[in-house]
Structure 1
């Protein structure tokens, strides 16, 4: 039942979002976009760090259960909705304001696609951790924790400096 309600809310919000007057809505949608991106990035940065700690706590069953719950809730309640909202608002801004033009915008889309792929990878890893089938080391998760930061740097430079134009 919760999934039906969630889908209904997202559908109504999406319809409202795409039918707003671009001139009046731009700043509000841009603000929501920035908030969603910050939330998404926070989750993408925190989840691999939780995996590092989860790897270290492999032997402690009590901690293991707590990490599984934290990882699943972070993904379900923060990262997934933030990604969806980021894409919805970003698509609206790209369509209504920029008409999908500009090299910097195309670069930002590529980065968003790569971040989404990383998000999917983390979602799969969350499932593997829940099943006690993680196959990566603590060190690997520490290295993977830097991926969203590197992609974020590219996106921010593309948007602020408008490179490439």
Structure 2
């Protein structure tokens, strides 16, 4: 029963993290398209707030995920190949999270070179990774 509580917190933090990862590139696109200094400052503040919330959610996802893995034990990990693929995708999400943090900083400092179309396209990255993770978790193909 305790495991289910840990799993529930893991999934809740994951939903919050992914929501941020899905929304932030759209804020980047609007920021890159903003013309006035007031608008750029407003988008920068929104990006900073969302980035902080995302980071807390990412940390919660990782902590509760490691906790679940510790409860399941090494034998479980050795016999579930799909989980290794999931971990690779989670590492990619962490990298994407870092990229988002760098883009937010560059946009605030007006050093970003991405176009609104580029940022909207980059918004598809976490959606694709999320789809792959969900398929691995629910289908467990290997």
Please state which band the TM-score falls in when normalised by the shorter chain.
over 0.9
Residue 54 (structure 1) aligns with: 31
Structure 1 segments unaligned to the other structure (5+ residues): 1-23
**Residues 1:42 and 2:25 aligned together:** no
> Aligned-pair distance for 1:98?
5.1
Residue 41 (structure 2) aligns with: 65
- Runs of 4+ with >3 A deviation: none
| Structure showing greater relative contact order (alpha-carbon pairs closer than 8 Å, 6 or more residues apart) | 2
**Residues 1:74 and 2:50 aligned together:** yes
Residue-by-residue CA offset, 1:125-154 (whole Å, 9 max, x unaligned): 111011111111111111100000000011
Over the aligned positions, Cα root-mean-square deviation in angstroms equals 1.0
Q: How does 1:15-26 map to 2 (within 5 A)?
A: 24-26=1-3
> Aligned-pair distance for 1:95?
2.4
Structure 2 segments unaligned to the other structure (5+ residues): none
**TM-score normalised by the chain length of structure 1:** 0.81
Aligned length, in residue pairs: 139
Partner SS state of residue 126, structure 1: helix
Residue-by-residue CA offset, 1:48-86 (whole Å, 9 max, x unaligned): 0100111111x211111100000001101x100110111
